[in-house]
Structure 1
Amino acid sequence: MAEILRPIGAIARALDSIANVEFKQFDLTKGQYLYLARICEHPGLFQDQLAEMIKVDRTTAARAVEKLAVKGFVVKRPDSTNKKIRRLFPTEKAQTTYPNILRENQYSNQVALKSLTIDEADELARLLHKVCANIDDDWHYVKKGNLRKY
């Protein structure tokens, strides 16, 4: 069977390291850019939705959101119907920073795909979405307290 997880992990770690260095100038550290991007793309989402998108536990998401709030990137507002839910919105500072995150993402995507044809890039994207869906099933299963059987 083909070994895909090591190269996928290496790609993710390399791009995360690059982004962490490049986004220091915006006072974003340790993957905070990822949370900020999702909040800018989905204003009004709540923390559990954010954790689900990024595939982290609730506590990790809560810590990241709190740090972004302290730095002035995110505001939390109560939901209009359920006061227990706090919705996340980007501030003007976040909206000013977001285009830089988007530009870095587009550039990294371009670099990653530079030696592929358009058809190869499309096929890779299609296959990665399938792989992501496969992993998503296990992620939800384990998140509910179950253990996978090998």
Structure 2
Amino acid sequence: MEVVFKNMLHAYSGKCDGLVYYYNRRLNKVIARRLPVTKPHAGNARLSAISANLKALNPSEAYRTDMKLYTELLRMQEGAKGNSFYSWSNVFRKLMFGMAKKYSLDLATLTRAQIYDDKLPCRSVQAAVEDGLLVGVKGWERFASEM
């Protein structure tokens, strides 16, 4: 839901009264949503380990720039459908989970060395599109920066 502040707190973000507030720069609005209530279970621990490992891979700045540009091109291509990605990290996660499914990999233990030794398609956006893990967009051939 869109939030309207009476006291001009436009920069506010955080948690309060069971809601999470955040600023959406695309919409230029502060958005609020219900604070999710989660119960600890094995799936949470597994997803947490995978997320920590994907963050530890620490892609290069050039790779992140390629992902950001790819995400923008994908958003322009898929714009009318409304099912495009919001940020490059969402595309990166889709790529990694798709690759893990296709090649039976464990994302909780994946390393940069393993990515380069096995020539996995996540090493560049171009390789991922060629392998079919990402949708081809106009100009995808120029996204050759490696992780």
TM bucket by the smaller chain? under 0.3
> TM-score, normalising length from structure 1?
0.27
Which entry has the higher C-alpha Rg, 1 or 2? 2
Q: Name the structure with the higher helix share.
A: 1
> TM-score, normalising length from structure 2?
0.28
